[in-house]
Chains A and B, each alone.
Chain A
Amino acid sequence: MSINFWLDLLILTCIWAGVAGAWNLLAGFAGQFSLGHAAFFGIGAYTPPLLAQALGVATWFGIAAGAALAAALALVIAGVSLRTRWPFFTLITIAFAEVVRILAVYFKGITKGSEGLMLELEPGFANYFYLDKWPYLLLAAIYAAGVIWLCAVIRRSRLGFRLLSVREDEDAARSLGVPVFMARANATMISAALAAMGGSIFGLYTKFVDPDSTLSFLLSVQPALITIVGGLGHALGPLLGAALVIPIEHLLRSWFGGVLFGLHGLIFGLALIAVLLVLPDGLVGGLRRRRGRQVRHA
């Protein structure tokens, strides 16, 4: 297989490790299971090319704007779900993501609808637009490392402790004076902004943005699957999960994609069930348990 195949695999693994890390921040630390991260991912993917076309601004500015827009939507979601508890947060995120997807398809004048946008930008660093794959690997790797580092930092920060306390017992946390809404809103916004950045990089890399590849419901499931496989609530879980899930998905798609339409999704669904039932703590949890057992035996 060509070098491009491997590069492609690595870039996507890094991007999805980052997006899953963003999801994990909210789900693993705060116990809020979003199934709407496709909305943030898609906003991130669409914003840079749309802004570049409309205002001629550089991609970097578009990435920042996309992250800000996603964070703003996240704040609305946090506000709306203020009084609800599991599992309504999940349903609300699904609803928001669907609204974003439908609107992206509907406003053809801006987004070209389901046809999708081809990215044609001035090559160079300002737009981070290259024909070569290497620069994207660099960017994706920095992104993934950045997200994981940030998650590790947050985990040990005051926000991290607050999120964990809210996850364990919301009422107790509230009665101890933890600002529950603020903690949750902050986590949702950071998570959304990070996921949007992943979407931006994905869009720039594939040079094509359409609702199917950036806003579909399966893209909301993807970061969840990756994180659960890797280890929910562990900073390294998403990286481990992405390193396993993305290559397998890639291979499945290249083997069966054209011939047996649906087989890839069938395996995806069954794998999700199998992981949940066999390894509910994911690879990290499984490894830890194993090590713990050996230590105890010794």
Chain B
Amino acid sequence: MLRIEDLAAGYGDVRVLRGVVLDVGARETVSLLGANGAGKSTLLRAAMGIVRSSGGRIVFKGEPLTGLPANAIVERGLVLVPEGRALFPFMSVLENLELGSYSRRAKPHRKESLDRVFAMLPRLKERRRQLAGSLSGGEQQMCAIGRGLMAMPDLLLLDEPSLGLAPVIVQEIFTLIGRLSAEGIAVLLVEQHVKRALAVADRGYVLENGSIATTGSGATLLSDPALRKAYMGQKH
């Protein structure tokens, strides 16, 4: 569904990514792991066209995305839930969700999408009149994922959804991610919680210094001694 070939990208003169090769199939859940600063977020942002890629190709559903602005990419069914939630703080939860379905692709189905999101995340329904900025961290993350789902993604990119959340909430978030493939949505997940991320994923990639170091199924990666040493020493 998403195929990234030999991607190079960065900010200004700083090259963050080079020679990145990665693919995600339909309904597949794939985890992207790596230390801080390895370039995971940059990879997602490059896929969305927020960071300009300087080489390589990004192909989504057989169509090259290079040079398209993020709003055009969203129309094609590739959707990012950005790091740090990035809700619109002075707008209500409901307005945030409605904006999720702003694209021409999603707008006609807003009503059903909203029902579906409220069914999956009932707490958002209770809080729908509240300003998004006044939600708790966990609720904000739910709202951000809900907003992403409103866009009717074929592939949802999740950037560190568990960042800074209490363990109970983290568990909830991962349960939710696990349910997405049943809804027919492919997921590319960037995470620090390596074990959980690999448990929920079909496959994983490890990004190191801007390129892919290892790839394989969740179980293989979990038992890879190099990976264990590099990334799991500090995290459980």
* Complex A–B touching at CB under 8 A: no
Binding site for B on A (CB under 8 A): none
